[in-house]
């Protein structure tokens, strides 16, 4: 027998597989296809204080081994999420969720996190300081150690739930920013968010995406994500949730060896909506293949 259980800030998950924010909505559409309770948990759609329509279209572009998105944090706002999405979610998902929160100023982050912190269904707050496809806020906080620490410190003052800061890879030194967030009180880190990319339409000779640039995700970014998870997990003393191009059970094992306690699956959900249950089902086979009995025992195995 093998065990796929892992623990995030005292919260035991049946397995480390977590659909990433922005690729799973609030779970309703996926619930119609399979029992999403097989998941470790999931990170729900990035939520801001007020409702957002998002960026102009087109806002998706395909790439070799990936995609670019500039959705722009389209969401119904935190009040709608609390009043409608979470009660609906409770009827079909019987575990706590990760609340992914974004903002455009520190006071917006603080108020949105304060509101979501009181919800019993939320197990972890994931502070998104790294979205590369909105103007202002978002990545502006994530590319500066000082700013990332400031928003982390401010949110910690009004929350009781474990706070994980989602980091941007579009920086010179991600370890510096990770350490700054840890020093400011972060309970964990999520990385990486998407890389900044673009495509040009050869017929129009203009950028494909109305926003010009957007977040590049998919299997092509896995080696970059793995490298950054390795660097950060080795440098900090708090848990890391690894993500970026994960699409197989082998990728999950590799991320955990690099230092991730749990692993999020993003773009691949849009390619194959059943990818997460497939990974979960395949994990015991892959563990046995590589002589792994307890998943939690391999965390950081590549450098410990």
Reported in sequence order, the residue ranges of the chain that DSSP labels E, i.e. its strands, are 6-8, 11-13, 17-19, 60-63, 66-69, 97-101, 122-128, 163-166, 188-191, 195-197, 200-201, 206-207, 214-217, 240-243, 262-265
User: In the numeric block, which tokens belong to residue 232?
Assistant: 């950060």
Pair 187, 238: CB distance under 8 Å: yes
Q: Is 32 exposed, middle or buried (0-12, 13-18, 19+ CB in 10 A)?
A: exposed
Exposure string for 6-17, b = 16+ CB within 10 A, e = fewer = bebeebebbbbb
| Residues 6 or more apart in contact with residue 128 via CB below 8 angstroms | 21, 46, 100, 101, 102, 138, 166, 193
Cα distance between residue 39 and residue 36, in whole Å = 6
Angle, CA of 9, 11 and 12, to the nearest 5°: 125
Q: Which residues participate in catalysis according to the annotation? A: 131
How far, in whole angstroms, is CA 25 from its chain's centroid? 12
- In three-state secondary structure terms, 68 is strand
């Amino acid at each position: 027998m093998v065990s796929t259980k892992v623990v995030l800030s005292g919260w035991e998950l049946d397995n480390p597989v977590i659909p990433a924010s922005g690729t799973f909505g609030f779970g309703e559409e996926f619930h119609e296809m399979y029992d999403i309770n097989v998941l470790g948990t999931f990170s729900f759609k990035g939520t801001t204080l007020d409702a957002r329509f998002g960026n102009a279209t087109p806002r998706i572009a395909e790439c070799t081994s990936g995609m670019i998105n500039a959705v722009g944090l389209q969401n119904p706002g935190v009040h709608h999420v609390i009043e409608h999405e979470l009660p609906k979610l409770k009827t079909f998902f019987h575990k706590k969720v990760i609340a992914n929160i974004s903002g455009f100023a520190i006071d917006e982050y603080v108020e949105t996190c304060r509101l979501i912190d009181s919800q019993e269904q939320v197990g972890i707050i994931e502070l998104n300081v790294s979205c590369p496809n909105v103007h202002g806020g978002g990545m502006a906080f994530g590319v500066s150690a000082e700013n990332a620490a400031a928003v982390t410190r401010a949110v910690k003052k009004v929350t009781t739930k474990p706070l994980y800061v989602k980091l941007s890879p579009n920086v010179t030194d991600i370890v510096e920013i990770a350490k700054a967030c840890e020093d400011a009180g972060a309970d964990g880190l999520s990385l990486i968010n998407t890389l900044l990319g673009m495509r040009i339409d050869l017929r129009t000779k203009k950028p494909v995406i109305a926003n010009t640039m957007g977040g590049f995700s998919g299997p092509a970014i896995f080696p970059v994500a793995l490298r950054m998870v390795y660097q950060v997990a080795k440098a900090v003393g708090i848990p890391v949730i690894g993500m970026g191009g994960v699409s197989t059970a082998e990728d999950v094992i590799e991320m955990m060896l690099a230092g991730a306690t749990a692993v999020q699956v993003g773009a691949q959900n849009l390619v194959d909506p059943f990818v997460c249950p497939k990974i979960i089902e395949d994990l015991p086979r892959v563990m046995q293949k590589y002589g792994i009995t307890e998943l939690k025992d391999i965390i950081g195995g590549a450098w410990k």
